Chains A and B, each alone.
Chain A
Amino acid sequence: MREMLHRIARVIVKELLELRRDRWARFRLIVPPIVQVLVFGYAATFEVFGVSTTVLDLDHSQESRALISAFEDSSRFKIVRVAETQREAERTIDRSQAAIALVIHPGFAELLRKGQAAPLQILVDGTNSNSALIALGYADAIVSTFSQTYQSDYLYRTQPASAAGRVDITLDDRPWYNVGLNSRWFFVPGVIATLTLVMVVNLTAFAIVREREVGTLEQIMVTPIRPFELVAGKTIPFFLVGLTLVTIITLVGTLWFQVPFRGNPLVLLLGTVVYLLSTLAVGLAISTVCKTQQQAFATNFFFVNPMFTLSGFSFPIASMPVAMQWLTYLDPVRYFLVIIRATFLKGVGLAILWPQLLALLAIGGALMSLAVMRFRKSLD
């Protein structure tokens, strides 16, 4: 037993030495994680603020100006151009100078004063449908608030007796867990799962394939080391690398980006440990089917990319076709993301997250035994 531990430790030390000697390896270990978290924190957002807006007011009335200033006052819209003609307004959309154009036709105020529906034309560049949809929602909210105020004023002036007016049922929305609807809170914790996946799978696969390619794997096999010990020695360093990555990203996320951490860090740690099992197994499995580093790279890409896309990291699983949704159940990243986001934002613990942990354990265990079996065979 002691000898076994000793042999494993030797492999770990050798692996760590190799990491230390490789200037590039160190660079690749430290810089990408930090850059990625920063860029994700700043660039990945689906929020919509300051939509570039053109206004065309052909009515020049008090009412039309009031409606436009309602848009001006909202942080969601930013008026970048005041057009004089319909053609000019349409052109700003065509040339992508504005994403939305508000057109108020002559007679707007007159219709309003008569209590008739006054048309407001909204032109939208739908190229980015998601932003367009959200912007339209905000425009809708502004217009309906304006309408309501106008109408109650109007009724009050014309028929003070029935000032109760129109039936008005409103929606009072309460965003839980992320009150400010901050995209950053969604993406930054998620980086923990994806970055660890990419780095750990990569490192593990390459470390073994390199030895195979250079021929040193055979040299190791003539020493008294057993296959299991070799696997342990080869994977434990990258397990440690994975833990370090998770710590770095968690620190940057909570300290720099102020993402709340409401759950128990130990639950996240437990999730990480179980999750790393899967990533190490994938790396190990890739190393068994590849003879050269180039092949390892290609195969890597083949596995990691679908795992990334199917995980629900940035695009909701619920929006995928049903067959694809089934596939996501095989993806360990999917479960780990649930655990990460729940511990960060929801603050829930094992009582709720045990199914995800079990799933991770099952997938990780299955992958690891497959990988170790293949690995032993590939040594013969």
Chain B
Amino acid sequence: MGGGRRTSLGSAGVKLRRISAIAIKEVLQVWRDPRSLMMALLVPVMQMLLLGYGVNLDIANIPTCTYDEEGSPQSVDLLKHFQASRYFNLVANLNSERQIADAMDRGRCKIAIVIPADFSRDIAMTRYASVQAIVDATDDNTATLATAYARAVVQGYSDEVQAELALQLGQRTMPAPIAEQSRVWFNEDLESRNFIIPGVVALVLALVGAQLTSLTISREWERGTMELLLSTPVTPMELMIGKLLPYFAIGLLDAAICLAFALYLFAVPFRGAFSTLLFTTSLFLVVVLGIGYLLSVLIPSQIGASQMAMFATIMPISLLSGYAFPIDQMPAPIQALTYLVHARYYVTILKAIFLKGSSAAELWAPITALIVYAAAVAGLAARAFRRQLT
């Protein structure tokens, strides 16, 4: 406790009565602005639907062109294997390289399977043949996955031909030397929805939270009511808590909406404890609301505060939180930057609670980080506020 400097917790202390007065004023203000309230409740719904359905990295029905230079029973057979795969959708049979180039340029197909003219002869003579896959790699992720699926189709076909040949020759079918047995944990069906939806929850909470609060202080400055508030005995800490309480309640409601969507509409497995989820979500909301508040204190115009809130939340969260883009693939300086992004910790926590069923004890590291974050933001906001006054 320092010498003569008056702190916000000085002689008056934090009075519950004053906090609740501010909170009631804020609730009334939110209530009188039905559009904002509707936004706060509709945005999560809209975002969950949009991102839940729209953010999907699993590919199927890739538009596929074929160019069968041979036209033998064997080449037709191989193409049937592509047709049977749910990953490929044969849209056109082409007759020249030029047609392929044109179809790819126009984006009519994303992959073209080219079977060379001596395909079946090669198999008969040398037991070796090669099929070409031309892939539109503009979207590199889709291209990588499409290539892997195409390779699997060709491999499967290769094994079939081998089995037939062995049968004809009366040989024992020789198994592939190594039998891979892969076991996938936590997201057994490898559905991208299962790892993206928990991240979307974090995204939605961060967006709505920062947006709602970023306007609360700057509105007071702009309308000149701040002077009025300051002439009352309310302290900066009380003002902050009072202003944020109603938004905290809205945030929890939003979290419940998001969770209901994740569990019932998108059927994401939930393997952890609700208490852990509630605790960490509350913690994250404190951070998010605190950041919005800090920005609104720092930037006196509404438009500035809201734009900065958008800039300071949307981009870092959608890029650096690890909700879709894996952090371990980023260059080291950017990885270091992700430690500054609050959503990084919450996204880690959410994925672990949903898919791994982790307990609070196992998640001590990201939880501690969030606590430190919350304390830092609250401290900074209170300080910035006091400085704005002078």
* B185 engages A178 (CB within 8 Å): no
Which of A124, A137, A318 meets B144, CB within 8 Å? A137
Q: Do A302 and B105 touch (CB < 8 A)?
A: no
Contact B329 A171 (CB under 8 A): no
B81 to chain A, nearest CB (A): 11
Q: Is the CB of B139 within 8 A of A316?
A: yes
Contact of B54 among A42, A154, A202, A320 (CB under 8 A): A320
Pick the contact of A164 from B36, B106, B126, B310 — CB < 8 Å?
B126
Flag the segment in A227-235, A277-285, A303-311 that touches B.
A303-311
- Return chain A residues, CB-CB under 8 Å to B282: none
Contacts of A236 in B (CB 8 A): none
Interface residues of B in 284-304 (CB under 8 A from A): 299, 301-304
B106, A154: Cβ atoms closer than 8 Å: no
B54 near A310 (CB under 8 angstroms)?
Answer: yes
Q: A306 — which chain B residues lie within 8 A by C-beta? A: 46, 50
Q: Is the CB of A167 within 8 A of B158?
A: yes
Q: B150–A120 contact, CB under 8 A?
A: no
**A89 CA to B325 CA, complexed, in Å:** 26
Residues of A289-336 at the interface with B, using a CB-CB cut-off of 8 Å, are 293-295, 297-298, 301-302, 305-306, 309-310, 314-316, 318-321, 324
Complex CA gap A120/B128 in Å reads: 26
User: Do B319 and A294 have beta carbons less than 8 Å apart?
Assistant: no
A61 on the B face (CB < 8 A):
no
Contacts of B133 in A (CB 8 A): 171-174
Query: A52 — which chain B residues lie within 8 A by C-beta?
Result: 328
Most buried by A among B110, B151, B185, B311: B185
A342-371 CB mask vs B (1 if < 8 Å, else 0) is: 100110100010000000000000000000
Known: A24-B304, A42-B334, A170-B131. A129 touches B140 (CB 8 A): no
A117, B177: Cβ atoms closer than 8 Å: yes
Q: Does B123 make an interface contact (CB < 8 A)?
A: yes
B182 adjacent to A45 (CB under 8 Å): no
Indicate if the CB atoms of A28 and B185 lie closer than 8 Å.
no
Q: Which residues in B have their C-beta under 8 angstroms from that of A156?
A: none
A129 contacts B187, C-beta separation under 8 Å = yes
**Could you tell me the distance between the alpha carbons of A122 and B54 in the complex, rounded to whole angstroms?**
31
Cβ contacts under 8 Å, B62 to chain A: 318
Interface size on B, residues (CB 8 A): 109
- Asked if A160 is an interface residue, CB under 8 A from chain B, the answer is no
Report whether A302 and B330 are in contact in the complex, using a CB–CB cutoff of 8 Å.
no
Q: A126-B186, A133-B148, A167-B123 are in contact. Are A174 and B132 (CB under 8 A)?
A: yes
Contact segment of B17-25, B188-196, B235-243, B254-262: B188-196
Most buried by A among B36, B135, B180: B180
Please tell me the size bucket of the interface on A.
Answer: 35 or more
A309 close to B307 (CB less than 8 A) = no
Interface of B is mostly: helix
B56-97 CB contacts (< 8 Å) to partner A: 56-63, 78
Query: By the criterion CB–CB under 8 Å, are A297 and B215 in contact?
Result: yes
Q: Closest residue of chain A to B60, judged by CB? A: A319
- In the assembled complex, the CB of A93 is this many whole angstroms from the nearest CB of chain B, namely 6
**Given A115-B174, A179-B137, A319-B58: A173 touches B330 (CB 8 Å cut-off):** no
B224 an interface residue at 8 Å Cβ cutoff? no
A306 to B169, CA, bound (A): 61
CA distance in complex: A293, B308 (Å): 14
Whether the pair B303, A293 counts as a contact (CB closer than 8 A) is yes
Complex Cα spacing A178 to B190, Å = 26
Contact B181 A121 (CB under 8 A): yes
B302 A293 Cβ-Cβ under 8 A = yes
Q: Is B10 an interface residue (CB 8 A)?
A: no
B225 at the interface (CB under 8 A from A): no
CB <8 Å contact, A171 and B131 = yes
Say yes or no: is B276 at the interface (Cβ < 8 Å to chain A). Answer: no
Q: Is the CB–CB distance between B180 and A171 below 8 Å?
A: no
A140: nearest residue on chain B (CB-CB)?
Answer: B180
CA–CA, A348 and B102, complex, Å: 10
Q: Kindly state the separation between the CA atoms of A127 and B187 in the bound complex, as whole angstroms.
A: 5
Query: Chain A contacts of B351 at CB under 8 A?
Result: 127
- Tell me if A182 counts as interface (CB < 8 A to partner B): yes
Known: A129-B192, A171-B133, A310-B54. A45 touches B178 (CB 8 A): no
Say yes or no: is B371 at the interface (Cβ < 8 Å to chain A).
no
**Chain B residues numbered 90-137 whose CB sits less than 8 Å from any CB in chain A:** 104-107, 110, 123, 126-137
Asked if B135 and A294 sit within 8 Å, CB to CB, the answer is: no
Tell me if B145 counts as interface (CB < 8 A to partner A).
yes
* Complex alpha-carbon distance, A343 and B56, angstroms: 26
In chain A, what residue has the closest Cβ to B101? A176
Whether B148 and A122, one on each chain, are in contact in the complex, defined by CB atoms closer than 8 angstroms, is no
Q: Could you tell me if B311 and A28 are in contact, using CB atoms closer than 8 angstroms?
A: yes
Q: How far is the CA of A151 from the CA of B175 in the complex (A)?
A: 10
Contact yes or no, B178 A302, CB < 8 A: no
Extra contacts, 9 of them, besides A164-B126, A301-B39 (Cβ < 8 A), are: A32-B315, A43-B319, A43-B330, A46-B326, A134-B144, A171-B154, A176-B136, A186-B138, A310-B50
Residues in chain B within 8 A of chain A (CB atoms): 33, 35-36, 39, 43, 46-47, 50-51, 53-63, 78, 104-107, 110, 123, 126-145, 147-148, 150-152, 154-155, 157-158, 161-162, 165, 174-188, 190-192, 194-195, 207, 211, 215, 219, 299, 301-304, 306-308, 310-311, 315-316, 319-320, 324-326, 328-331, 333-334, 351, 355-356
26 CB-based A-B contacts, threshold 8 Å: A42-B331, A45-B330, A50-B328, A119-B181, A125-B185, A125-B186, A127-B195, A127-B351, A133-B148, A133-B190, A136-B182, A137-B148, A137-B151, A139-B180, A140-B148, A147-B177, A164-B127, A169-B129, A173-B147, A174-B135, A177-B136, A179-B137, A294-B33, A294-B306, A310-B54, A316-B141
